[in-house]
Amino acid sequence: MKLVILDRDGTINEDRDDYVKSPDEWVPVPGALEAIARLNHNGWHTVVATNQSGVGRGLFDMASLNAMHLKMHQMLAVHGGRVDAVFFCPHVSEDCCACRKPLPGLFQQIGERFAVDLREVPVVGDTLRDLQAGVAAGCEPHLVRTGKAAPERMNDAQVAELVAQVPGTRVHASLDAFAEWLIARERVASGKGGEA
């Protein structure tokens, strides 16, 4: 099974400093839904791993979270794409759970659910904790320059500092650029030509 694990806020949809609290506030990053569809069409399964402490903070309830994800699934379907599952942590840091990124609990749950060895499974996110959680579970880290890592929020020196904390991290302009890179790498590995 070819699997990619994606962060949500800042990677698939626009991030908000005051939290994404409703379907109306759930707005896709340009090109992100098309990127997931391209991955799907090239045989990749996509799963979301996301911290949603807004639930624990009382900013929105489970019905609102489910409605956001329904909107995501419906918008993806328009592009011929899909996310196989959404794994989320509803806790705040004070809860000391094992599933809140940067801890790897969500990733371990994904590995168990899909019976997949997570070694070298790509994880894509816009924050240090996304990458740390993935690497702790054995995943291959990829940072996208959207959300919290967007150029207007994080300069090149800050990105280099972040990447230095998670050796092996590759940096991409967006989820769309990551998808293009991954598909090209696979084509090269399978001898179908192209350049990674």
Catalytic residue annotation: 7, 9
**Token pair of 88, please?**
């989320």
C-alpha to C-alpha distances, 16 to 13, 130, 141, 196, nearest whole angstrom:
9, 17, 23, 33
Place of tokens 């702790």: 136
Contact 117, 3 (CB under 8 A): no
- How is the chain split among helix, strand and coil, in percent rounded to 5? 45, 15, 40
CB atoms under 10 Å from CB of 118, counted, come to 20
Q: Is-contact 92 111, C-beta < 8 A? A: no
Give dist(CA 114, CA 119) in Å, integer: 13
Q: How far apart are CA 119 and CA 186, in angstroms?
A: 16
**Is it true that the peptide bond before 102 is cis, omega within 30 degrees of 0?**
yes
